[in-house]
Amino acid sequence: MKFLILALGNIGPEYADTRHNIGFMVADYLAAKHEARFEIGRHAFVTEIKAKGKTYVLVKPTTYMNLSGKAAAHYLSSLKLEKEQLLVVTDDLALPYGKLRLKGKGSAGGHNGLKSIQETIGSDEYARLRFGVDANFPKGRQVDYVLNPFSADEQIDLPLHIEKAADAVLAFGALGIERAMNIVNVK
């Protein structure tokens, strides 16, 4: 069984360690752990890993966040996968820092990357793993907040949170969305 893991973020060194790039960080962790290397593909950097008999195609869009749907549509089509085999990994301001929330469907919640995916694939019925980045910013400063690095205090636990998110990605494929949600969302 094959799964498409669409890890959201923005390309370029100025975005590398920002909150908005947590999806890229999780994909990079999985690739490194499985000794896989990303290669440039259409609309994205792409690699493939195998774990517990499942194949995970890790995709980091090169379209910037607001056009992430292009990569989602292309790889769903070219890999001949159904929406049920798609998991999007993204940041979430509505969750406390490091909190994970796995859902099988839902609204974009104001997230431009999710909005692009929903508009492009014509559905909100795809799984998403939301990684809490908190909402610790003054009113009207949301963009600055997500496009800045994690604080020094947050960076202490960041590797552990990334590892837990990577485990949640693998659980999605190995156990299915319902069982994985029961594990990920109760922690």
CATH number at residue 137: 3.40.50.1470
The pairing of beta strand 44-51 with beta strand 54-61: antiparallel
* pLDDT at 187 exceeding the cut of 90: no
161 is catalytic: no
* pLDDT at 48 exceeding the cut of 90: yes
- Length of the chain, please? 187
| 8 Å CB contact between 103 and 128 | yes
Task: Read off the pLDDT band of 140 (50, 70, 90).
Answer: confident
Q: Which of 20, 43, 74, 161 is catalytic?
A: 20
pLDDT of 15 reads 94
Percent of the chain with pLDDT over 90: 89
User: Is 120 in a helix, a strand, or coil?
Assistant: helix
Q: What angle do CA 27, 173, 64 make, to 5 degrees?
A: 35
Mean pLDDT of 94-100: 95
Domain with 54, as residue range(s), is 2-184
Number of domains the chain contains: 1
Closest CA to 31 of 8, 58, 53: 58
